[in-house]
Amino acid sequence: MSKKESKPDNRREFLVGSLAVGASAVLAGCENKTQAPPPGGSGTAAGSAGAATAPGAAKVPHIGPGQLDDYYGFWSGGQSGEIRILGIPSMRELKRIAVFNRDAATGWGGTDYSKEILGGTLSGDTHHVHPSYNEGTYDGRYIYVNDKAHARLARVDCEAMEVDKITAIPNSQGTHGIFPQRHKTGLVLCNGEFRTPQANDGRDLEDATKWGSMHTAIDGESMEVKWQVMVEGNMDLCATDYKGTYSFATSYNLEGALDSEGMMANERDCLYVFNIPEIEKAVAEGKGIKVGDSEVPVIDARGDNGPYVQRIPVPKSPHGVNIDPTGKYAVVSGKLSPTVSVVAIDKLADVFGGKVKPRDAVIAEPEVGLGPLHTAFDNKGNAYTSIFLDSVVTKWNIDKAIQAYTAKGEKPDPIIQKLDVHYQIGHINASMSETKEADGKWLIALCKFSKDRFLNVGPLHSENDQLIDISGDKMVLVHDGPTYPEPHDAVIAKKELFHPKKMQKRTMPRFELYKKWAEEDGVDLFKDNKVVRKGKNVRVYMTSLAPNFGMKEFKVKKGDTVQLIVTNQDKVEDLCHGVCVSKHDVNYLVNPQDTQSHTFVADKAGVYWYYCPWFCHALHLEMRGRMTVEA
């Protein structure tokens, strides 16, 4: 076949080529009409122009057919236990990454490798997603996400956008806020929200004075737990500085109470500041203790301020802590106060050195509204705080807030604008806001309630994600849309920083399993279709190439444990196959050039058809085979 006649290597090229022929005749007679915008990104903060807008208003973002978004959006999935990938500014959902959940579409939670790293737990509660960093910006390698329900941290490999590691966190419950170090792919810091007996093995069940919670450091490369620091309060959100010196945790319930009324007794709680070099020095010197069955060294820092932890007093029940793009300030939101507290990070060395009091590190405390939760930033020195009770986003200027805090005469007003959002906004984030490259273009408001904004679909209402243009002097709401509950946090990152592969590169840890099995059985995964029996354990090696499986039938005996290992030989980048075995709860995805496996028991005699559940060919329905189970 000549180069001119060669087949397209993906469906998009095929469709574009086919449509171009038909479209050329139509376009020939349309020279005087407005042409569609060229393919590619929107190129402006407001995206390609959609409907006409009023003078001075932001254009409604419109990404037309065939155009690509400017940003990736990484959303947590809340109780679903997943991560969602959106395109920004279109707000199109592009993919769902199964993490702590069973996913019937891909087979995650049923395939052998996913079952191994999930350890039998098929539910989770993802709250916070954060990409890995290098020199203060995203490096496109990993995405980390917590599981609050079961105290775990997962890592997604960004080449495949697939989970490659999950780590269980010892001595901890309610792992909530997490954050990677920003100067390199170093530690991922994880906050335990719930105070428990330490060790939690039946002792001290009623004596809450002996309880504590853990600030845990996990190596972002190996995913090994390196150390923990025990503190007395409930820890909430987490942050890190840009130099690798400090990590932060908002904390409530310094009272040590077990009920909500007692937890809100004090007028102030604190921001924990952890001195990472001092903690690591103490661990290296063997000053860590062992708690329970875990071998992880624990620094017990409950009580007074010291070399490892300082407590910055802030108004009661602080929730979010966010670091501005300059790395100068930590902004803490007082959930039960109308204020946010601005902490000067360059003053923390003097706090640890005893030269100034911890409260002296607070250099501003503007009133932003009732129920502040989280803060995002642009590239002009402005901050954007989500206000839960008022259902608004408050835009304010950091420098003016600092001036107002110290001014003795007339005080400048740091508040620039308040924008209504719908309804009860939780998390907020802006494009590149958590990096040194914040660009001040887009802001996302994750609203907890939608009420009457969408069609009624029953008692479980959708939530409402609202996109806000912040490129001008005023915030302008340009899009809202329903989302399945309950995303807690989101990150908006430039698409140029991420480079997912279009074809499976077979470099993830699970391929070590397949290589080991193939070597044991003398099998070439890409060529052989073979049944290997070892007693009651049967390995079935099978290939797939549209529209056929390499094996049209395999036979096993009732009671056999069957390991079905399938390799997709296709080289078209979006030509997926899958395997579904009738009446055996086996259903999983196999991407092009990928291998996946699922182990099950053939516990019923008879004939059971297996088929490809992913549409792959005009003869897709005929892509099948049968498993014969002999009595």
DSSP secondary structure letters along 526-578: TT--EEEEETTEEEEEEEEETTEES-SEEEEETT-EEEEEEEE---STT--EE
Query: In angstroms, rounded to a whole number, what is the distance separating the alpha carbons of residues 537 and 603?
Result: 13
Mean pLDDT of all residues in 490-505: 96
Mean pLDDT of all residues in 97-107: 97
How large a percentage of the chain has pLDDT more than 70?
91
Instruction: Using the predicted structure, report yes or no on whether residue 212 has a pLDDT greater than 90.
Output: yes
Given pLDDT bands bounded at 50, 70 and 90, which one contains residue 263? Answer: confident
Could you report the per-residue pLDDT of 65-78, keeping only the tens digit for each?
999 999 999 999 99
Instruction: Using the predicted structure, report yes or no on whether residue 29 has a pLDDT greater than 60.
Output: no
- The pLDDT of residue 17 is 40
Instruction: Using the predicted structure, report yes or no on whether residue 287 has a pLDDT greater than 60.
Output: yes
Query: In angstroms, rounded to a whole number, what is the distance separating the alpha carbons of residues 234 and 192?
Result: 7
- The pLDDT of residue 407 is 86
17: amino acid identity, one letter? G
Residue 214 buriedness (CB in 10 A; 0-12 / 13-18 / 19+)? buried
Could you report the per-residue pLDDT of 548-587, keeping only the tens digit for each?
999 999 999 999 999 999 999 999 999 999 999 999 999 9
- The pLDDT of residue 255 is 82
- The pLDDT of residue 44 is 39
pTM of the model: 0.91
Q: Say how many C-beta atoms besides its own lie within 10 A of residue 250's C-beta.
A: 30
515 touches 567 (CB < 8 A): no
Span between the terminal Cα atoms of the chain, in Å: 51
- The pLDDT of residue 520 is 97
Residue with the larger pLDDT of the pair 21 and 209? 209
Instruction: Using the predicted structure, report yes or no on whether residue 224 has a pLDDT greater than 80.
Output: yes
Mean pLDDT of all residues in 210-230: 97
Instruction: Using the predicted structure, report yes or no on whether residue 150 has a pLDDT greater than 70.
Output: yes
Could you report the per-residue pLDDT of 343-356, keeping only the tens digit for each?
999 999 999 999 99
Strand, coil or helix: what is 616? coil
- The pLDDT of residue 259 is 85
Instruction: Using the predicted structure, report yes or no on whether residue 47 has a pLDDT greater than 80.
Output: no
Instruction: Using the predicted structure, report yes or no on whether residue 99 has a pLDDT greater than 90.
Output: yes
Min mean pLDDT across 251-265, 449-463, 470-484 is at: 251-265
Q: For residue 525, what are its two tokens?
A: 């995964």
- The pLDDT of residue 57 is 53
- The upper half-sphere exposure of residue 282, i.e. CA atoms within 13 Å in the direction of its Cβ, equals 21
Mean pLDDT of all residues in 90-105: 97
φ/ψ of residue 283, rounded to 5: -65, -45
Could you report the per-residue pLDDT of 397-435, keeping only the tens digit for each?
999 999 999 888 889 999 999 999 999 999 999 999 999
Given pLDDT bands bounded at 50, 70 and 90, which one contains residue 58? Answer: low
Given pLDDT bands bounded at 50, 70 and 90, which one contains residue 478? Answer: very high
How large a percentage of the chain has pLDDT more than 90?
85
| Residues paired with 385 in a beta bridge | 375, 394
Given pLDDT bands bounded at 50, 70 and 90, which one contains residue 52? Answer: very low
Mean pLDDT of all residues in 295-324: 96
